[in-house]
């Protein structure tokens, strides 16, 4: 397993993974995904095993020394094998290297697996947003302070 930065040739595969990871209304359109990846303050890590992409994470640097996790997607067959942890480790390291003090993210309230994953890494629920996703699903806002 290795992590590397995003290359433009990865795009269709990342789009396909995102479509498979999330229900319609939560998954991103091509345009949204493109915009998030191309944003000048964003960083995308790709996890690869034997040249196959098995997951990715997009994070965005925001005001007030905050990093926002835009999305983290691991291919279903590769879950619970440490890929997500590896991607989050890289993003958190990047935030620390840039002297950021807070990481924030949103996750669907019915996505209990993701909530367990984040809680296990020290994220806590601080707010909820009704109708956060296009399909009407509410989200938890979760944060982690970096020391």
Ligand X SMILES: CC(C)(COP(=O)(O)OP(=O)(O)OC[C@H]1O[C@@H](n2cnc3c(N)ncnc32)[C@H](O)[C@@H]1OP(=O)(O)O)[C@@H](O)C(=O)NCCC(=O)NCCS
Which residue, 76 or 99, has its beta carbon nearer to ligand X? Answer: 76
Count of chain residues binding ligand X (CB under 6 A):
18
Minimum distance from CB of 85 to ligand X (Å)? Answer: 3
Which residue, 11 or 115, has its beta carbon nearer to ligand X? Answer: 115
Site for ligand X in 65-124 (CB under 6 A): 72-74, 79-85, 107, 111, 113-114, 116-117, 120
Minimum distance from CB of 5 to ligand X (Å)? Answer: 19
Q: How many CA atoms lie within 13 A of 128 on its CB side?
A: 9
58 binds ligand X (CB under 6 A): no
Binding interface with ligand X (CB under 6 A) = 21, 72-74, 79-85, 107, 111, 113-114, 116-117, 120
């Amino acid at each position: 397993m290795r992590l590397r930065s995003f290359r433009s040739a990865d795009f269709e595969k990342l789009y396909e993974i995102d479509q498979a990871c999330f229900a319609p209304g939560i998954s991103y359109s091509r345009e949204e995904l493109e915009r998030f990846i191309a944003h000048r303050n964003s960083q995308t890590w790709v996890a690869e095993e034997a040249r196959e992409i098995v997951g990715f994470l997009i994070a965005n640097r925001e005001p007030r020394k905050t990093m926002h996790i835009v999305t983290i997607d691991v291919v279903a067959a590769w879950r619970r094998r440490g890929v997500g942890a590896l991607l989050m480790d890289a993003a958190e390291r990047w935030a620390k290297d840039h002297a950021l003090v807070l990481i924030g993210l949103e996750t669907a309230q019915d996505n209990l697996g993701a909530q367990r994953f984040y809680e296990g890494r020290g994220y806590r629920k601080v707010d909820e947003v009704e109708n956060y996703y296009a399909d009407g699903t509410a989200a938890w806002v979760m944060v982690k302070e970096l020391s």
